[in-house]
Chain A
Amino acid sequence: MAEVVLSGLGKVYVDGTRAVDDLNLEIRDGEFLVLVGPSGCGKTTALRMIAGLESVSEGSIRIGERTVNDVPSRDRDVAMVFQSYALYPHLDVYDNIAFGLTLRKLPKDEIDRRVREVAEVLELHEHLDRKPRNLSGGQRQRVAMGRAIVRAPRAFLMDEPLSNLDAKLRVQMRAQIARIQRDLGVTTVYVTHDQTEAMTLGDRVAVMKRGVLQQVGPPQELYDRPVNLFVAGFIGSPGMNLVTARLDRDDDGRHWLTVGTDALLLPDSVLLSRPALAGYAGRDVVLGIRPEDMEDAALADAGEGSILHSVADLVEAMGSDVLVHFPVDAAPVVTEDTRALAEDDGTATLPKGGGVVLVGRFSPRTHTYEGQPVAVWVDTSRLHFFDPATGLSVWTDKSGGQR
């Protein structure tokens, strides 16, 4: 077990492509850190550099006391779980798990004891003499885990280990990985593009975009205080609603946000926690509203200036709650961040003017129907604000930085 420290880490390929740019991360001993971001954001490259499978172009990697830039993979004493599992096809489950130990020339009986112990934990003991091709996807995944665990390495590196499993199995394995990591207390770096995995597994989550680290923090902090539009849009599902709104100060000193045809009244608490926000009076800001912070006005204790009026466009009943899509007549937000998010969603074309469709998460007791008018209550104390030019979150100063 050891801490893993990345300082100014960078990767430039021979053709000049920059995959990782000045990555600084301190992964504490025993911590579970999740690297998350859309495909091509450099998270896997960063992981492979820690693993020693990719050379380091800039900066350094330290594992424990040792700088490992030039140490080959085999001597770094870290174990990796591959997305494809990468089980040795010609070896049975027992030998797959034992492979790393036999290379270390451990005594036979110790290898045997450790392999059986791990197999017991992962419920593989009945399949030890099977070949990988005779295993189910979930079992293969567990063998891959077992191969990493049995070595008791200084750190686990996991590259989207659950992405080849079906949804139900993925939830099960997610819980198992969390449990195992907690029990063993081994430093873990986990790469995923799935924000749910990131939120549920990570002690801390690092969000990356195009090779650049955007924000690191505990999952809740990323959710509550995203530093920019990208993190705001990436964390949470369904994603945060982003819309251009105009901030105005009336004669009584109250701040109003104009969203389409409606106006939202900002509570004083919001202005107090975001002193820089008052400076946007008379200008456009990017308003972020999480679907969870909306409700059917009929079911909420709606005060003055907290209602948006629209017509329900689409109603999705999820059982535990109802997702209501409704258009508002406000300008969509188009920045570099939202483009990156749209690319990740596969919605290559962003809405072209003429309004934005918002999504609200209502209680199942709502009586909202498609095509019917809907009054949406917004929890104005939980609104998010971003600078339209920089995309940074509006907090205390222009930089917006709050980590």
Chain B
Amino acid sequence: MTVVEVSVAGSPRRGVLSRLVSRLGGGAVQVGLALVALFWLVPVLGLLVASLREESANTASGWWTVLTAPAELTLTNYADLVHNSTVLRSFLNTVYIAVPATVLVVVIAALAAYGLAWIEFPGRLWLTTLVVGLLVLPVQVALIPGAKLFGALGLFGTITGVVLFHVAFGLPFAIFLLRNFFAGIPRDLVEAARMDGAREWVVLRRVVLPIAKPAIASLTIFQFLWVWNDLLVALVFADQDSAPITVALRAQLRQFGTNIDLLSTGAFLSMVVPLAVFLLFQRYFVQGVLAGSTK
């Protein structure tokens, strides 16, 4: 694919960014990137340190004092957290919500995107347009009808309800993203697989999906992050037993005292998981999977 070849050094017309990069040289760019990364990392580090200090220490001095007095660090906050059934359960709730809401969206979107991109059927264009149209529909307009519907179905206040709502609102973008990527796969590849005797399902699983790994990986990360960090949907649709960690942590804010020991540990915990997911999938971003397939 030409997409891959564009990045070859020395090609006459390049983007502003790549010209900038070559002008500055590799070293300067790396320093710049490191500074940006540091800038983003400092608050995270602060949160981590805060979660490792006693509440009294946190109220008495800033987190950076650990740099001179590392002995302050302790795991008691985390030990307390494990014994705090509300936070622990909400953490598990978040997992129970985010994992299915991500898996379902990716699987359904892949199937739908393949159909829209590679199977000819009447009304295909209209259906694709409809999906694009749904992209602009804000979540807010569906909150009340959704709540009524879930109430009637007995899904209100359940994890299933929250998952379904996330899936419904995650799908338009997911289908849109994957359809565009799938449609960019050379037609010959799909046709070659069909000639080789593959059914549509096999074409999807053995040719399209492996090639679409970067798109699938990005979608997985995005979808997971959205659901994991969601507060609004959970606030509306979850009850106390099904509340995810975002809701639970917010509930902690209402009580007396700063509660910093509990909040920082919980917040850090809720941040680590998406980070792990990101690291797990990020290597697929940089793969030039298509190179050499055609021409």
Contact = CB atoms under 8 A, between A and B. Distances in A.
The answer to whether A and B come from one shared complex is yes
Interface of A: 51-53, 72-75, 78-80, 82-90, 99-100, 103-104, 131-135, 137, 140, 147, 151, 164
Contact of B191 (A86, A134, A151): A86
Contacts of B149: none
Interface in B206-220: 206-207, 210-211
B293 A100 contact: no
A104 B193 CA distance: 13
A103 B195 contact: no
Contacts of A80: 191-192, 195
A12 to B, nearest CB: 16
Contacts of A132: 292-293
A133 B188 contact: no
Nearest to B191: A53
Given A53-B191, A84-B186, A90-B211, A147 B291 contact: no
Contacts of A51: 191, 195
B188 A84 contact: yes
A103 B192 CA distance: 13
Nearest to A87: B293
Given A73-B191, A86-B186, A133 B197 contact: no
Contacts of A133: 288, 291-293
A131 B188 CA distance: 18
A73 B295 contact: no
B195 A78 contact: yes
16 contacts: A73-B191, A82-B188, A84-B294, A85-B295, A86-B192, A86-B294, A87-B293, A88-B293, A90-B210, A90-B211, A103-B197, A103-B202, A132-B293, A133-B293, A140-B292, A147-B192
A84 B198 contact: no
B124 to A, nearest CB: 13
A99 B198 CA distance: 9
Contacts of B186: 84, 86
Contacts of A75: 197
B292 A86 contact: no
Given A74-B198, A74-B199, A103-B202, A89 B191 contact: no
Contacts of B206: 99
B130 interface: no
Contacts of B291: 89, 133
B148 interface: no
B194 interface: yes
B196 A99 contact: yes
Contacts of A90: 210-211, 289
Given A132-B292, A135-B292, A86 B198 contact: no
Given A74-B199, A103-B202, A86 B194 contact: no
B285 to A, nearest CB: 16
Nearest to A140: B292
B198 A103 contact: yes
B193 A99 contact: yes
A134 B192 CA distance: 20
Contact of A86 (B199, B288, B293): B293
Nearest to A91: B210
A104 B294 contact: no
Contacts, number: 89
B289 A104 contact: no
B35 interface: no
A87 B197 contact: no
Nearest to B196: A100
Nearest to A144: B192
A80 B192 CA distance: 7
A89 B292 contact: yes
Given A82-B188, A103-B202, A87 B195 contact: no
B192 A89 contact: no
B130 to A, nearest CB: 21
A134 B199 contact: no
A144 B193 CA distance: 12
B183 interface: no
B194 A74 contact: yes
Nearest to B189: A86
Given A82-B192, A132-B292, 4 more contacts: A53-B191, A73-B195, A74-B195, A133-B292
B233 to A, nearest CB: 36
A86 to B, nearest CB: 4
A225 to B, nearest CB: 36
B107 interface: no
A84 B196 contact: no
B56 to A, nearest CB: 56
Contacts of B273: none
B108 interface: no
Interface in B166-207: 186, 188-189, 191-199, 202, 206-207
B275 interface: no
B68 to A, nearest CB: 53
* 10 nearest A-B residue pairs (beta carbon): A133-B292, A89-B293, A86-B188, A84-B294, A100-B196, A86-B192, A133-B291, A132-B292, A90-B210, A73-B194
A51 B192 CA distance: 10
A216 B206 CA distance: 41
Nearest to A72: B194
A266 B295 CA distance: 52
B75 interface: no
Contacts of A135: 292
B142 interface: no
B207 A88 contact: yes
A74 B197 contact: yes
A89 B196 contact: no
B290 interface: yes
Contacts of A99: 193, 196, 206
